[in-house]
Chain A
Amino acid sequence: MEAVLFFLAAIGATGGAIGVVALRNPFYSVLALVAHLFSLAVLFLLLTSAFVAAAQVVVYAGAVMVLYVFVVAYVGSDHEPMLDPIPGQRLFAGLLAFFLFVEVSAAVLSSALKALGTHGPDVPAGFGDPAAIGTLLLEKFLLPFEASSILLLIAAVGAIVLASRKRNGEAGGDQRNGRQVGAQTPSVGAPR
């Protein structure tokens, strides 16, 4: 039963991930990611971490993805051409990723750590439920918790700084000709 669930979820997660990478329309990529996240949530459940799973669904699938969708809708989603301008980029990307995967798996499989081979130790009931997590957050990880809140604040400020319209109206005009000049100078800073 658990094995079946695992494989289904694993396939879902992998498929979703591949979808994100492969689909050429950003919009679909977002949807693929959502699928991926859901299957991850399932895996989290299998790993008896209910709270994380929940957070996963709520925060990501709920909040972040929506944001994505908005932005994609705002900037419009144009298909990027199929073949890669940089020669060999894909080949090397594939190779390196493959090597990385092999190394990590090799490390995992050849590790002397007994527990890896097992299902993991038996944990008390309530392992990873909101109460436990909450306790940890407020006791041991109080500081990271606070820090991440500040981080959120900063991120918000940043988003405003970057995305908000300029107060002074003359923005548009010189932006455009600025861009044109930028276009005239493609090879800026090229080694000479």
Chain B
Amino acid sequence: MNISWYIVLSALLFTIGAIGILIRRSPMVILLCLELMLNAANLALVAFSREVGNAQGQVFALVVMVIAACEVVVGLGLIVAIFRRKLPLDVDDLRELRG
């Protein structure tokens, strides 16, 4: 299979993730969509690393996984805090700050 296929696929996944962030309101799902985007990036990285024939991209992908995990943790922590604070778990309703 050509590398191009993988890249195009990753582009597809990336955009799907983006769409998700833009249209979902539950913070949890939004976090999931972030995961989607990061994974799309990972796919691209790995594919490219295959294409250029060095493994740096794969390592990059691994690091990205770690970072994604961190973001998830913090995100979920925030969600919990918000829940504790009896605020709605809907990003549209969190709009005290604007203008």
Determine direct contact between A and B, CB below 8 Å: yes
**Secondary structure of the B contact surface, majority rule:** helix
Known: A14-B13, A162-B81, A188-B97. A120 touches B51 (CB 8 A): yes
From 137 to 183 in chain A, residues with beta carbon under 8 angstroms from any chain B beta carbon are 137, 140-141, 144-145, 148, 151-152, 154-156, 158-163, 175-176, 179, 182
Complex alpha-carbon distance, A118 and B96, angstroms: 52
Complex alpha-carbon distance, A51 and B11, angstroms: 23
* B58 x A51 contact (CB < 8 A): yes
- The residue of chain B having its C-beta at the shortest distance from the C-beta of A103 within the complex is B11
Residues in B with CB closer than 8 Å to A74 are 80, 83
Residues in B with CB closer than 8 Å to A120 are 3, 50-51, 53
Residues in A with CB closer than 8 Å to B96 are 182, 185-186, 188-189
B90 shortest CB reach to chain A, Å: 7
A192 shortest CB reach to chain B, Å: 8
* A159 x B35 contact (CB < 8 A): no
* B73 x A119 contact (CB < 8 A): no
Complex alpha-carbon distance, A45 and B18, angstroms: 25
* B58 x A3 contact (CB < 8 A): no
A8 close to B (CB within 8 Å): no
- A sample of 10 more A-B contacts (CB under 8 A), given A159-B76, A185-B96, is A17-B13, A43-B6, A47-B50, A49-B50, A49-B61, A75-B80, A104-B8, A155-B73, A158-B77, A159-B73
Q: Taking beta carbons and an 8 Å cutoff, which residues of A are in contact with B? A: 2-3, 6, 10, 13-14, 17-18, 20-21, 26, 29-30, 33, 36-37, 40, 43-44, 46-49, 51-52, 55-56, 59-60, 63-64, 67-68, 71-72, 74-75, 77-78, 80, 84-86, 89-90, 92-94, 96-98, 100-101, 104-105, 108-109, 113, 115-121, 123, 127-128, 132-133, 136-137, 140-141, 144-145, 148, 151-152, 154-156, 158-163, 175-176, 179, 182, 185-186, 188-191
Q: Taking beta carbons and an 8 Å cutoff, which residues of B are in contact with A? A: 1-9, 11-20, 22-26, 28-29, 31-33, 35-36, 39, 42-43, 46-47, 49-53, 55-56, 58-59, 61-63, 65-74, 76-81, 83-87, 89-90, 92, 96-99
